[in-house]
């Protein structure tokens, strides 16, 4: 009858031996009815369709098909093997029309028809990539014009491997909507709705998403990348829709990110992001930007802000330790580079960073990845030297009222001339440059002690009475060294990981007063 699309017909070959029974009732004053029963075996049929419809020739699968109906419609039921059963209702309109149907692969009897028009498929574990490749060849589009099929389709499976992940206990419903198609997905890893609108951006409303690629089992001889964007050379925006993403709770690569929003638009080979947001509950990252995916001229630009009330809490949410404690943070950024968004290239990095930290404390300067940010400007090494030279003053944490910095990056070299730490024991001003590619720095630092001043002790008490008492005690026992220093000037050069810090000026208080 030519009902199946060519992509499905081409995957089937062989012949079926069968016998049939046909009974027709032609009453004089009633509708004509009929009953047809076919029995056969698929032993000589081979199928190259993806599982569970794959089958080698020679494997015996008994088939029973029955049709009961009249001149308007008929019910088509049957079984294939001992566990595959189906039930369907067909309408004999101008075109043969499938009204509703159900297929189950783990049942012993004929299942009841769905309550509404549509197709329900209860299938075993599936390899979604294989089926997706078949659909991309047009298997879902090139349906014969001699039949019509319902647009509502429900798929249930215990496991679907797709996108490098296994989606468990999954139910997917695709149905027509007023302006396109609505897809609902529910499972252990996802609870989401996708509106595929005809003349508007698609809308993805996600209540919950856990995406950790690499979990799905793969063959060792052909491992798949853990990220679907691992190879930029394979990415093309052709056919991509504009998308409005709204995710209430997102887990990516095993890490909880919380709320993720973004409006994505495609124009040629450019992907634009507007209203980007990641809100963990401890920090909010806002972003706008674009990715130009042009061969030989690929570039990324991002502009936005990052802020939160407590830096160490925000970093700890991602399992990162930081030597900066109890400080609020605000960062404005405007960056661009010649590479994909997930592969920043230091050599082509340009832009501006503005950083403001509120009242806080430096503790363990060697701790974790966040300590590497201090190392970038050699600030950790400078504080360690101050601790060594003036160990009585800096034996505990370094408290500060605020930190302000503006940095601009040109072709991978970071420059700053206004980095200022307003500390309780001292103010520290820094300027210079850091070569991010060669990982070398050329900085100057000026340290102005404040502990001998009454205002420094008063400020310490304002921050914390216990801290204030410690600062006051230190100011009384330091002796003639720190209390008599007005300005310290340092030159910081060499590798980022092992900087050379040389004191070039120690100006006494009397000299400065003169």
Q: pLDDT, tens digit, for every residue of 46-75?
A: 999 888 889 899 899 999 999 999 999 999
Q: Are residues 211 and 138 in the same domain?
A: no
CB distance 119 to 154 below 8 Å: yes
On whether residue 230 sits in a domain, the answer given is no
Q: Are residues 190 and 285 in the same domain?
A: no
Q: Are residues 73 and 32 in the same domain?
A: yes
What is the helix (H) or strand (E) element at residue 162, kind and residue range?
strand 153-162
pLDDT of residue 446: 85
Pairing of strands 118-122, 153-162: parallel
On whether residue 107 sits in a domain, the answer given is yes
* CA-CA-CA-CA dihedral for 360, 363, 365, 369, to nearest 10: -70
On whether residue 222 sits in a domain, the answer given is no
On whether residue 228 sits in a domain, the answer given is no
Q: Are residues 475 and 348 in the same domain?
A: yes
The last residue of one of the domains, among 113, 133, 153, is 153
Residues 6+ apart with CB under 8 A from 221: none
CB distance 76 to 66 below 8 Å: yes
Q: Are residues 347 and 403 in the same domain?
A: yes
Q: Are residues 202 and 299 in the same domain?
A: no
Instruction: Please list the ranges in the chain whose pLDDT falls under 70.
Output: 1-4, 138-145, 215-234, 364-397, 450-486, 508-514
Q: Are residues 207 and 279 in the same domain?
A: no
On whether residue 229 sits in a domain, the answer given is no
pTM of the shown model: 0.81
Q: Are residues 192 and 286 in the same domain?
A: no
**What is the distance between the alpha carbons of residues 358 and 382, in angstroms, rounded to a whole number?**
21
The last residue of one of the domains, among 127, 153, 179, is 153
On whether residue 158 sits in a domain, the answer given is no
* Domain span holding position 373: 268-514
On whether residue 23 sits in a domain, the answer given is yes
Count how many domains the chain has.
3
The beta strands (E) that lie in 381-461 are given as: 398-410, 413-423, 426-435, 440-449
On whether residue 234 sits in a domain, the answer given is no
Q: Are residues 273 and 184 in the same domain?
A: no
Q: Are residues 492 and 363 in the same domain?
A: yes
Q: Are residues 92 and 193 in the same domain?
A: no
Q: Are residues 321 and 252 in the same domain?
A: no
pLDDT of residue 499: 83
């Amino acid at each position: 009858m030519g009902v199946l699309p060519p992509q499905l017909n081409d995957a089937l070959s062989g012949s079926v031996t069968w016998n049939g029974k046909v009974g027709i009732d032609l009453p004089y004053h009633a509708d004509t009815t009929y009953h047809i029963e076919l029995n056969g075996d698929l032993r000589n049929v081979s199928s190259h369709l993806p599982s569970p419809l794959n089958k080698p020739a020679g494997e015996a699968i008994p088939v029973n098909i029955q049709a009961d109906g009249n001149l308007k419609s008929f019910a088509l039921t049957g079984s294939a093997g001992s566990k595959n059963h189906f039930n369907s209702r067909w309408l004999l309109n101008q075109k043969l029309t499938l009204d509703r149907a159900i297929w189950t692969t783990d049942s012993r009897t004929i299942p009841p028809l769905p309550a509404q028009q549509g197709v329900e498929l209860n299938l075993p574990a599936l390899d979604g990539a294989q089926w997706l490749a078949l659909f991309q060849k047009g298997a879902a589009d090139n349906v014969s014009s001699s039949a019509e099929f319902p647009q509502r389709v429900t798929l249930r499976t215990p496991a679907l491997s797709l996108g490098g992940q296994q989606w468990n206990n999954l139910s997917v419903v695709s149905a027509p909507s007023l302006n396109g198609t609505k897809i609902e997905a529910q499972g252990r890893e996802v609870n989401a709705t996708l509106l595929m609108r005809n003349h508007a951006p698609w809308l993805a409303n996600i209540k919950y998403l856990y995406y950790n690629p690499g979990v799905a089992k793969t063959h060792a001889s052909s491992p798949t990348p853990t990220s679907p964007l691992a190879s930029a050379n394979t990415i093309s925006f052709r056919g991509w829709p504009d998308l409005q993403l709204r995710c209430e709770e997102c887990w990516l690569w095993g890490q909880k990110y919380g709320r993720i929003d973004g409006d994505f638009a495609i124009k040629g080979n450019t992907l634009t992001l507007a209203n980007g947001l990641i809100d963990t509950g401890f920090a909010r990252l806002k972003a706008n930007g674009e990715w130009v995916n042009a061969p030989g001229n690929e570039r990324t630009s991002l502009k936005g802000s990052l802020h939160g009330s407590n830096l160490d809490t925000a970093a700890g949410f991602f399992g990162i330790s930081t030597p900066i404690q109890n400080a609020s943070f605000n960062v404005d950024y405007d960056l661009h580079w010649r590479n994909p968004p997930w592969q920043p290239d230091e050599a082509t990095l340009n832009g501006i960073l503005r950083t403001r930290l509120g009242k806080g404390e430096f503790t363990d300067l060697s701790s974790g990845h966040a300590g590497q940010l201090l190392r970038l400007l050699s600030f950790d090494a400078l504080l360690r030297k101050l601790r060594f030279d003036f160990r009585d003053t800096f034996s505990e944490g370094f408290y500060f009222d605020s930190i302000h910095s503006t940095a601009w990056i040109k072709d991978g070299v970071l420059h700053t001339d206004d980095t200022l730490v307003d500390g309780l024991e001292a103010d520290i001003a820094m300027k210079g440059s850091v070569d991010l590619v060669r990982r070398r720095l050329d900085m100057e630092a000026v340290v102005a002690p404040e502990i001998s001043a009454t205002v420094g002790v008063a400020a310490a008490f304002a921050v914390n009475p216990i801290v204030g008492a410690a600062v006051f005690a230190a100011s009384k026992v330091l002796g003639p060294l720190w209390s008599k220093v007005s300005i310290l000037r340092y030159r910081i050069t060499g590798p980022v990981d092992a900087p050379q810090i040389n004191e070039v000026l120690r100006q006494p208080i009397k000299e400065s007063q003169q």
